[in-house]
Structure 1
């Protein structure tokens, strides 16, 4: 387990690339990460807010996958709609990490590598490895904490959830403070930013929320609120954090996959609580005949679901988070309909077609 780096009581200038940011200064920096075919500079846009008072250094990054832009919208709101004025410490705000994918509306880099599997990187390696190494050297190595903002992969949507290694007390502190209703416990995949940042003493968590290629209103509100909650916890902002109506920790998840090819109609939505054996989607033939109903293998919460209704056998349909608390008991309290999480759940549900369960396919 790693711990955050010790901070000096004296506030010194911050160096980022070729720029110097003085205590009490906020500056927009273009951090060079590569070049075009014609030799022009490709740079990472970064806003550095450097308080004159000592405190934690925190990075907030988005669009490490170029098509996941809900996080970009969240950082925009922090910068402009609700301008961030911290009371101590330093913020590195990076609205787009994968500028290559962002330009082409694609998840990956031009070399088809996943940037979020390329950390800590190598400055003499592939394009993805070089970008990762620069980000680690210039941003992560200077920070005490990190928040990385994500959306679902192509043709899926995610019910908002924070993912963190809860065995690390520092990442657990961030995850609980953020105030998301659902926390998924885990270290993260090999080569992911959060896993590698934690290894070098920068406890980092991620937010997974919404769809790619979209900036969704409820996700923006939830993300901005969560970041402010976290900065309040770290002493960088004053005020009272806003707590969620409920908060569930999850260690185990499972996928439900299509058994036959056809067109899906859902009976649930992202964020819904389901019980073992409950029908979640019916697969219809192309001519409209109900042919198979998928059921939940366990009590859980719909973490993610496919937004493309046309499926083949074996394709992932629904990702279910399995909490330790009883879902039937929680359902009786009607917690899922409360607060911002309930509103986001209802908003996400408007993006899919939910239907009644066909009588001929209902399980015995």
Structure 2
């Protein structure tokens, strides 16, 4: 193949506007087209839903107004203790467009992990679901900055605001604030492998910084018919900047799944929704290879690109994916503070197992 690395390198220029907001880039500008799908969603019970960008924007407008009515102001931190569900994506857009700061927290965190991060970030509002409410409630009295808790999907306790009721009462019209590209958008905490977790304050422009890597590690995303899925938690930098936000930045749909990762279910989702692009951890790929070594004999797959990160994929999995999935996996490396650092693009230069970049 022709190695295009030098051509791409020489032709690349950063284009960062002075004014920029993630919500406008990922949703607002697409919302006028009511036929443009943003999100397909399913959970492990079999419940399904579909949302256009207009649906997401309308709900985000209502939530922005509801948060403002609760006293949330520009620069305040709003915590999301939620798995992959529509309300999670809606909340991000609502928080970003009102100039507040999103604080994504894993739905798997226990009380101690939640308490440290919520207290350190001085979050004023937390949005939870039934599986995460109990852990928050156990520490609520030790969080002096936390003024309000919003529950989605039936998360109820005395004093918890119903997400659905708040949106029903709020206006669907909202004027987004004007933000600079360098204004803060979110705080993501490191894992804390060396000392206490550190909160990385990340600006709206961080999305721009990740798009070039995303485009190349998905072999020049977007292409006609592309639709994305990743089991990566939307509270993690990878789930946000390697899945949800860049997909929406190009106005294309993503699949959200609320449930534990299962290899058979992964194949089912890939086939049912005609997924073309995926971000899958090496562990997930190994589980899929072991569970169904020859997936095309059982599932109708239409994959075009796979990006992987977290550890080395390995020669065996790369060769299996080429033979059985028809895709050469592009590996990448990222960090919480900036996410995408370096990665492969098999459509532009030869990929060597165990190596990232050129």
* Same fold per superposition (TM over 0.5): no
The structure whose residues are more often strand, as a share, is 1
Larger RCO, structure (CA 8 Å, separation 6 or more): 2
The structure whose residues are more often helix, as a share, is 2
Quick check: which has more Rg, 1 or 2? 1
